[in-house]
Amino acid sequence: MTAAEQSNLQSYKDDLIDQAKKGGALVAGVADAAAFGVAPEGHRPTDLLPGARAVFVVGGAQPRAADWRSPKAAHMETTSTSDRISALALKLAHYVERNFGYYALLNPPGVDRGQQPFMSLALAAELAGCGTRSLAGPILNEDYGFMYYSALITTLPLPIDGPAKSAVCPAPECSAMWQEEETTPCLSVCPIADGGCLGGRLEDGKILDSQYDRARCAIRTQGNWVPGFQKALGLALDEPDSERRRMILNSTMFTRTLWSMTYSNVSQAQCFECMRVCPVGAAHRELN
């Protein structure tokens, strides 16, 4: 590739990042489409878009500072912000095709077969240098901490950013807490040994190992979401007594589930406790 061609591709990338930031993204990065070898077959960029060369990742739209402050965490079910970042990525995909003349595909929100994502956004964000994995699971950006991610897959050979050079987790505060108590803020609020979802160990300021109970976490983060709707609907259909059937369909649980699904068009978590106590990005959550 000539120097002129490289300069042209860099200008495309700069333009795309500028459009992303204007659209509300806090971070953006590019992953090599060929770097997803650890992903299961069928869930790699080239499986969704043959000939894909790059994955452009955008992050932002995390819950507002007041969302973290509110003691009524259930309000997050119907005040979704995660869909905004997906809408931005879709807009950017159109921008690539209209202005640069390359194919661009939004990584579909939601899940494919077997409750698996079409392509792991966590892996994409990590490979694009937007953040690194945490003990609690989510990708953490070194400046903003937890945020939502979306990605577009494209045949445009954008210059690659690659993974971040240093790990964001554990934060210095977490390492200090581990030295004193052998736990961290996220592990302490949801300990796997006490019915929680998270476990792990640190050594020399690094994650030695981690544990995550997906089933427990799904119950807590998606209680009023598609699985809850399916369960309640199945119970209602199997209930022979009309009064009991009416009680199920008019229950608080079923009503909240419908509100969550209709107002949050992508899965909106109902438990943020591990992220609420995370010190990474905490400065952006502290206001007057």
Tens of pLDDT, residue by residue over 76-120, are 666 667 788 999 999 999 999 999 999 999 999 888 887 789 999
Beta-carbon contacts of 240 under 8 Å, excluding residues fewer than 6 positions away, are none
Q: Residues in the chain with pLDDT < 70?
A: 76-80, 264-270
> Concatenated DSSP letters for 24-83?
T-SEEEEEEGGG-TTSPTTSSHHHHSTT--EEEEEEE-PPPHHHHH-S-GGGGGGS--HH
In eight-state DSSP terms, residue 12 is H
**β-pairing, 198-203 with 206-212?**
antiparallel
Q: How far apart are the first and last CA of the chain?
A: 52
Q: Can you give the length of the chain in residues?
A: 288
Taking only the tens place, the pLDDT of each residue in 171-193 is: 999 999 999 999 999 999 999 99
C-alpha angle 180-185-189 in degrees, rounded to nearest 5: 120
Give the distance between the most distant pair of CA atoms in the chain: 75
What is the rounded distance in angstroms from the CA atom of residue 240 to the CA atom of residue 251? 17
How much is the pLDDT for 186? Answer: 97
Task: For residue 234, count CB atoms less than 10 angstroms from its CB and return exposed for 0-12, middle for 13-18, buried for 19 or more.
Answer: exposed
Give this prediction's pTM: 0.89
How much is the pLDDT for 263? Answer: 72
For tokens 């939502």, the residue is: 148
Show the tokens assigned to 5: 């061609």
How much is the pLDDT for 256? Answer: 84
What is the rounded distance in angstroms from the CA atom of residue 124 to the CA atom of residue 268? 20
Taking only the tens place, the pLDDT of each residue in 63-87 is: 888 888 888 777 766 666 778 899 9
Q: How far, CA to CA in Å, does 262 sit from each of 14, 113, 257, 258, 259?
A: 36, 22, 9, 6, 5
